[in-house]
Amino acid sequence: MPRPKSSSLKSRSLQETTLSELKDTSRSLALQKKRLEQELYEARFHLNTLLEINDTIHYIIYPQRPEKNFFSPRWDKALGFSPHQTKYPLVEKKNGIVVDSLSHYEECIEQLQKNKKIQFRYQYQHPRSGKILSFQEEIIIKYDVLSDQEVWSGTITDISETEFFKEYIAESEKRFKSITDRLPIMIWITDEEDNITYFNEKSYSFFDLKKGQPLQLGDFGPIVNPADKERVFTEWDRQKENQRPLQFEVLITDRHEQKRYLAVEAIPRILPGGQFVGYIGAAFDLSKEYQYKQGMESAFSLLKDSEEKYRKLFENMQLGVLEVDDMEKIRYANEAFLTMSGYSLKELLGKKAGRLLCGNKESEEILRKQKQVRQQGIESGYEILFKRKNGTLATVIISGTPLFDNKGKVKGSVGIHWDVTSIRAMERALVENKINTEKELIEAKLQAEEEQRVQIGRDLHDGVGQLLAYLSMQLGVVKIKKAFNESELEQLEKSARSALEQVRSLSRILAPPALRDLGLRDAVRELVDSYAILEKPIVELDIYRQSEDYNLAMDKKIVTYRILQELLSNTFKHAHAEKIQIRLYFDQKQFNLEYCDDGIGFDPAGIKKGVGLESIKSRVAFYKGSVRIDAIPGCGSKTFIQLPLS
């Protein structure tokens, strides 16, 4: 039976309404899906960005569904392979673990199966660079309800630099103790509460202490001289409060009841954050040097008396005495010379003797040649035409004696002047039969005067000179007493340090520092520091970080050190440079040495093989490296050396 027309229309209308609702729902679901996909993308982007900032590698492994595995972006760079290009990335990672760490790694994985969580360390060889890295890894096994399986969640952290510095610090402490235990002085370290945390072997022996015995600085109060105790402890507390260096002398009684004189110096230990953590100091036994002090004072008094004696001798001489420096500038003239020349002392000081006093060109030439003779340390006698202040000329015989500094270098001369003008005039006026007689008298007188001058010169050299040499050797010992002018003591000590540094420099050339112990970086720094005592040239060093030192093989380190020695030697011998710039650094495939000086330069084509450049080229060529030398006479020189790392 056919349905009524009205019923059919209602059914069609209901279907259309339902279809419209379904379309609206579908569009709404599509929009929600798009929004959720957008949010998921943003969440993944934020997660990857955060993981990229962090040095730690994160990963999640689904053993039964590898397509769901997750690896943070740093995996590829840190481990040297892409985890998406292998079916079993953890197995591929295990293949890179060094043999010494492999058994420990396998044991930890076995424990993981039981405990579901583990943290361990191992060494890994990067498959691209070949470097040995230290990793710390933590793995947790969790059950994923949605995928119905156990999931491995892990983190890997590169701790190579941390491990390197731990080993470096431990080795530095070991080397520090080894060095200080061999020193002949007492070395000690305190904390902020004045507890002694370290004593070297000399300290234990000197104070007769047992190792391991807890000590404070106050425990040494009973052996300090009562007259010094309050001064020393007050100074210690005051300087400690201001975190300043300490320096004082103190008289003590040692274990044998003998009086000993100690000099104590200490510097504060302050952390990078500014926290004061105590002092590191040294104590020097100056008992013998203290005994020398009386002798030094007596010798100094004798020197002053001797100087006064010779000064009076010069002042009362009838002959003119003139002292000049190595540039012929006048430093002293006695009264007889002032009378002879007609000048006052103020008018003469600082003036060049030859330019002021020579009467003609011939006399100037004689003085020039005599200066060369005196620079060789030779005494001499000669005659010149002497010009007085009023313009009149006189004939003067001069006996010159060189003066030396404490290093034996000529620093000037003393000339004794005899005005023989009247004698020369009388010689010309006398008749022929009297000339010979007068000449004999003059020569006899000259010989007597010469002998007197020679004796004066000998006394100056053997008396005052020897005493000055004695003081030169000994005054450095008592410098810490500050009994004399500080600048004079430092000048004398500088001469001794210079000679010592030359011996050390030669020692370094013959026997370089133990590169296996120090590493190339520290060995180069020590080599450069050995030239710091010289005023010129100034050496500027730009060197790679300590953590990169292992990138270069030991044989190439030795070659680099020898080459740098050769370049420095050539500069100091030939270049007359003001500044040297040295740069050592690594790039991706090679090690670089750049050496520049601002000296006089040279023509590389005209250099003889003896200067060592051919030796440098042959050494670098042996390792298939390259050498480039840019040098122009008068414009310094630059040397560029590259050594392959592989």
Whether 137 and 234 map to the same domain: the answer is no
421-429 and 432-459 helices cross at what angle (nearest 10)? Answer: 160
In a domain, residue 204? The reply is yes
Dist. CA 327–CA 215, nearest whole Å: 61
Whether 179 and 153 map to the same domain: the answer is no
pLDDT value for 610 = 47
pLDDT value for 45 = 64
More confident residue, 472 or 638: 638
243 dihedral zone (left: phi>0; alpha: psi -120 to 50; beta): left
Token couple for 424: 């020369």
pLDDT value for 34 = 76
Whether 431 and 532 map to the same domain: the answer is no
Q: Which helix (H) or strand (E) holds 57?
A: strand 57-61
Scored b (16 or more CB within 10 A) or e, 374-383 reads: beeeebbbbe
In a domain, residue 594? The reply is yes
Dist. CA 280–CA 294, nearest whole Å: 32
CB atoms within 10 A of CB 357: 27
pLDDT tens sequence across 610-633: 446 777 887 788 888 999 999 888
Whether 427 and 309 map to the same domain: the answer is yes
Mean pLDDT of 561-581: 86
pLDDT tens sequence across 92-109: 888 899 988 889 998 998
Whether 434 and 355 map to the same domain: the answer is yes
Whether 388 and 433 map to the same domain: the answer is yes
Whether 469 and 550 map to the same domain: the answer is no
Mean pLDDT of 5-23: 69
Mean pLDDT of 149-156: 89
Token couple for 549: 């030192």
- CATH (domain of 527): 3.30.565.10
In a domain, residue 2? The reply is no
Whether 136 and 169 map to the same domain: the answer is no
Determine contact, residues 460/314, Cβ cutoff 8 Å.
no
pLDDT value for 441 = 43
Query: Is the pLDDT assigned to residue 642 strictly greater than 90?
Result: yes
Residue owning tokens 């630059």: 638
Q: Which domain holds residue 615?
A: 512-644
Dist. CA 356–CA 389, nearest whole Å: 9
In a domain, residue 415? The reply is yes
Whether 230 and 375 map to the same domain: the answer is no
- CATH (domain of 224): 3.30.450.20
Whole-number average pLDDT of the chain:
78
Whether 122 and 229 map to the same domain: the answer is no
Token couple for 152: 């491995």
In a domain, residue 128? The reply is yes
Confidence of residue 291 (pLDDT cuts 50, 70, 90): low
Which of 142, 158, 174 finishes a domain? Answer: 158
Confidence of residue 90 (pLDDT cuts 50, 70, 90): confident
Whether 467 and 519 map to the same domain: the answer is no
Which of 101, 135, 158 finishes a domain? Answer: 158
Looking at the structure of the chain, the number of domains it has is 4
Mean pLDDT of 347-370: 86
In a domain, residue 544? The reply is yes
Whether 335 and 419 map to the same domain: the answer is yes
pLDDT tens sequence across 467-518: 445 445 555 555 555 555 566 556 555 544 544 444 455 455 554 555 666 7
In a domain, residue 272? The reply is yes
DSSP-assigned letters across all residues of 32-46: HHHHHHHHHHHHHHH
Which of 285, 308, 343 finishes a domain? Answer: 285
In a domain, residue 608? The reply is yes
Strands 538-543 and 70-71 come out as unpaired
Of residues 452, 417, 424, the one with CA closest to residue 439: 424
